[in-house]
């Protein structure tokens, strides 16, 4: 299949596919006589793996490590589990930060009298750099 077909099939933009090739996430594809890239099912599966990993928030270095592990099916999955645990820890940390942000924004909105800007609690809090944790 050609790059456009791979893009449609995988939901990954053509430029992203080319980028993944440049950085070594996808192998360089075979070329037709006219120079066009030619992909096979293994490329489509690998791109699907990468797309799903990106959707879960894995960075490219983690994906590269997971792909290397995938090529060694007899190896222990301890490294894969550690990579996934690190990602889970990062997600939990982001959730905690977002919950604090939500609380702060809720407080700012609740304290706003919706009068004039000169008396606006949202503007005051932002200008003062206030942060309170609930």
pLDDT tens profile 23-61: 999 999 989 899 899 999 999 999 999 999 999 999 999
CA angle, 87 as apex, 57 and 41 as ends, to 5°?
Answer: 50
How sure is the predictor about 134, in pLDDT bands with cuts at 50, 70 and 90?
A: very low
pTM equals 0.77
Q: What is the pLDDT of residue 113?
A: 73
Cα 69 to Cα 60: distance, rounded to the nearest angstrom:
14
Closest to 125 in 3D by CA, of 99, 92, 103: 103
Counting Cβ atoms within 10 Å, is residue 101 exposed (0-12), middle (13-18) or buried (19+)?
Answer: exposed
**Domains with residue ranges and CATH for the chain:** 1-57 (1.10.1660.10), 91-134 (no CATH)
pLDDT tens profile 81-111: 999 999 999 999 999 999 999 998 888 888 8
Any bridge partners for residue 62, and if so which? none
């Amino acid at each position: 299949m050609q790059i456009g077909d791979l893009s449609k099939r995988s939901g990954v933009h053509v430029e992203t596919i080319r980028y993944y090739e440049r950085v070594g996430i996808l192998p360089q594809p075979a070329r037709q006589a006219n120079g066009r890239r030619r992909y096979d099912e293994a490329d489509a599966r690998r791109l699907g793996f990468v797309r799903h990993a990106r959707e879960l928030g894995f960075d490219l270095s983690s994906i590269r490590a997971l792909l290397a592990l995938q090529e060694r099916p007899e190896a222990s999955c301890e490294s894969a589990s550690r990579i996934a645990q690190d990602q889970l820890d990062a997600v939990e940390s982001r959730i905690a930060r977002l919950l604090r942000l939500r609380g702060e924004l809720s407080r700012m909105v609740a304290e706003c009298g919706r009068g004039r800007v000169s008396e606006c609690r949202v503007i005051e809090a932002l200008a003062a750099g206030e942060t309170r944790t609930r």
